Structure 1
Amino acid sequence: MTPRPAPSRRHFLGMATATPLAVTGALTLGAGTAYAADSAYVMCYFTESTSLGEGTDYGLHLAVSKDSLNWTPLNQNNPVVTPTAGALGLRDPFILRKQDGTFVVLATDLKGTDWSYVSQYIHVWDSADLRTFTGYRRLKLHDMNTHCWAPEAFWDAGRGQYAIIYSAVNSSGHNVIMVNYTTDFLTASAPQVFFDPGYDVIDGDMAVGVNGVNYMYFKKNQTLVGTRSTSLDPGSFKEFTTGVAHGGTEAPTLVKSLTSSTWYLWGDTYTPNGVFYAWQSTDLASGTWTALDQKTYTQPLNSKHCGITTITTAQYDNLITKWGAPAWNRLKSYNLPARYIRHSNYIGRIDEYPIDPPSDSQWKLVPGLADPAGVSFQSVKFPTRYLRHYNYQLQLDVNDGTSTFSADATFYRTAGLADASWASFRSYNYPTRYIRHSNYVLRIDPISTTTERQDATFRVGY
């Protein structure tokens, strides 16, 4: 969930106090279940720009990945479905693959940043394949004067039911993690308190049945903290880690690698930053995390509060076929990976993400104007303009149709000079020079040193 002020004192009236059922039988992985054939990942999110202008949309967005670190937004980073009831917008979406292999999508009933809006409902969709979404409804979780933020769900094998967890305010005036149980996401049991350590907690994310232990990470004091329990009983989870954070961080998302023993923990910084950071661990039980270098992962453009689920190769391919990969790219700096190529006042440079408006950092890599074997960088925001060099500095100019312009705006893509899996761009008409950044400004220069090779290396992604 994104940042909000301290909650007002809202009371749970008539809260169910039934004793939880005992968990029996083996625990099975619920949220984030990995099937034997899984080989890829799907992320759901909403989008929000720094100014809440261009690039902001409170519908359901999807992206796919083969490694869970670098993502391809679907449908040109536009929503694939949008709520038609309640606040007419969503936040904090979550995808659960159910026991029958189909999917259910849950989300907060809230559009924008009106934290005073109170809804006792969450948005729900059914989907067989994440290409079509059916049965849209809002599911009521309680009758209390409080919200239902950041819903997630997991399969509780002992109960033979799905648990829906979410953040709401208790009678002491602080957020706790609540739970309702359901078999069909059409109706739900009375709410119970799932986790209340006595202080404000939101954004619970589960990893169920990991070597017989269940884990839940949540936001505490702007950090991500882990709890664990050998049961799934409400009240059984106990904190066991110190906080992980990069500045103010929320919306933890636990992801298990499909090819190694590595776990990833994603976190989301507050609006207006909206930056994802990631940590890794090879032992979830240790509770220790190491920050990943930002060059190893790239979030979808303007993404906020994500959920990540594993899928098969066929599902990955079908999603790309249905929704399409973006017709544009973003280019990340190798040695300053928080920065992306953008234009500002028609000057080419690298600046830190998020860039507002986001279209300043979006490019179409089209066949080279002087040689179709090369590439030219066409601005998404100003499609008549291209990056070209002038006095060795890159600027965004209108194509005047001359051979000089075409030559200045054409580059040959090569293996990255600092990392062959990345890319470098050699000038068409000054073939000893490459695009590089210098004091954050883009220019073409001869390249000889290690630093210059790093300055001239970029990741072409989304």
Structure 2
Amino acid sequence: MSPRRVIAVSCAVLLGLALAPPPAAQAASCAAYVMGYFNRSGDRYALHLAVSDDGLQWAPRNQNEPVVTPAAGTQGLRDPYILRKQDGTFLVLATGLKGRVFHQNDQYIHVWDSANLTSFTNHRRARLHTMATHSWAPEAFKVPARNAYAVIYSACNGTSNIDGNPWSPLGQRAYTPPISSKHATIIPITTAEKDALISLGGPPRWNRSKSYVFPDRYPRHSGFALRIDPLGSGSALADRQDATFMLTD
């Protein structure tokens, strides 16, 4: 495994953050979870959101369409991270990359502000270093002793595989993420925030189902009967033949 360099920097001024006492609503127990992810389908590389009550079954919001797309830099996004700030609002950080140009030198990340994750404002690009490499997969956390926030990120050219780790895969029977979701970030949210996200884009026009008998088939409704059609290797969802289906009209 090639070495990876991870750098932590204090970024209170850079990201426009300030520590403040947490609001009462933030102290309440979480009612649900929100997932932020990117979806490279159609080379969009934009921010998508999904909600879940249990962290296992996820429902995409906004009909699985992007909720925000970068308009600066490479105009692409990977590796989003959602941070709840001390005032109860949110900050979204993300890698500034469109496509798979992993050798690209880009010291900047995307940053947005959001009140409840239904709209996003104040988009800016924050420069994290001056080295001839990238700023990837940013995450942030508060450092009360410094009255500031810190950002950790990857700054390494190339990719590598990490072997021998202790993680065990979660089976498809237990976990249903949004189709083609990549590099997710998950945080707890309140009931009001969940309701606002559920209303985003209106009721879903489609839902997901699974079969453990025909893992390479589409179940479809036709004439009030369930029809099963093959999911060919040329399908855009061919990488999801492992017991994943979509119900269509």
TM bucket, shorter chain: 0.7 to 0.9
Q: How far, CA to CA, are the matches of 1:324 and 1:340 in structure 2?
A: 28
Could you say if the C-alpha distance between residues 297 and 107 of structure 1 is closer, same or farther in structure 2, counting changes exceeding 3 Å? same
Deviation at 1:79, TM superposition (A): 0.4
Deviation at 1:351, TM superposition (A): 8.1
Q: Deviations over 1:192-229 (max 9, x none)?
A: xxxxxxxx8xxxxxxxxxxxxxxxxxxx8435xxxxxx
SS in 2 for 1:322: coil
Structure ID, larger Rg:
1
Q: Which residue does 1:222 correspond to in 2?
A: 162
Deviation at 1:115, TM superposition (A): 1.5
Q: 2:79 aligns with which of 78, 92, 109?
A: 92
Deviation at 1:35, TM superposition (A): 4.0
Q: Are residues 1:348 and 2:229 paired? A: yes
SS in 1 for 2:63: helix
Q: Which residue does 1:324 correspond to in 2?
A: 202
SS in 2 for 1:58: coil
* TM-score of the superposed pair, with normalisation by structure 1: 0.43
**Contact 2:8 2:153 (C-alpha < 8 Å) held by counterparts:** no
Could you say if the C-alpha distance between residues 35 and 16 of structure 1 is closer, same or farther in structure 2, counting changes exceeding 3 Å? closer
Q: Which residue does 2:38 correspond to in 1?
A: 46
As a proportion of its length, which structure holds more strand?
1
- Note the 1:271-310 alignment, pairs <5 A: 291-310=169-188
The alignment of Structure 1 onto Structure 2 pairs a total of residues equal to 222
Could you say if the C-alpha distance between residues 354 and 312 of structure 1 is closer, same or farther in structure 2, counting changes exceeding 3 Å? farther
Q: Which residue does 2:28 correspond to in 1?
A: 36
Q: Which residue does 1:363 correspond to in 2?
A: 247
SS in 1 for 2:185: strand
Could you say if the C-alpha distance between residues 347 and 41 of structure 1 is closer, same or farther in structure 2, counting changes exceeding 3 Å? closer
Q: Are residues 1:66 and 2:53 paired? A: yes
Deviation at 1:69, TM superposition (A): 0.7
- Note the 1:62-461 alignment, pairs <5 A: 62-169=49-156, 221-223=161-163, 243-245=165-167, 291-334=169-212, 341=218, 348-349=229-230, 355-356=237-238, 361-364=245-248, 378=249
The CA RMSD over aligned residues, in Å, is 3.5
Unaligned regions of 5+ residues in structure 1, if any? 1-5, 18-33, 176-199, 201-219, 224-241, 246-289, 365-377, 379-462
Q: Which residue does 2:19 correspond to in 1?
A: none
Deviation at 1:87, TM superposition (A): 0.4
Unaligned regions of 5+ residues in structure 2, if any? 10-25, 221-226
Q: Which residue does 1:390 correspond to in 2?
A: none
**Contact 1:331 1:340 (C-alpha < 8 Å) held by counterparts:** no
Could you say if the C-alpha distance between residues 297 and 102 of structure 1 is closer, same or farther in structure 2, counting changes exceeding 3 Å? same
Q: Deviations over 1:67-99 (max 9, x none)?
A: 111111011111001111100010000100011
Q: Specify the code of the residue in structure 2 equivalent to 1:45.
A: Y
SS in 1 for 2:200: helix
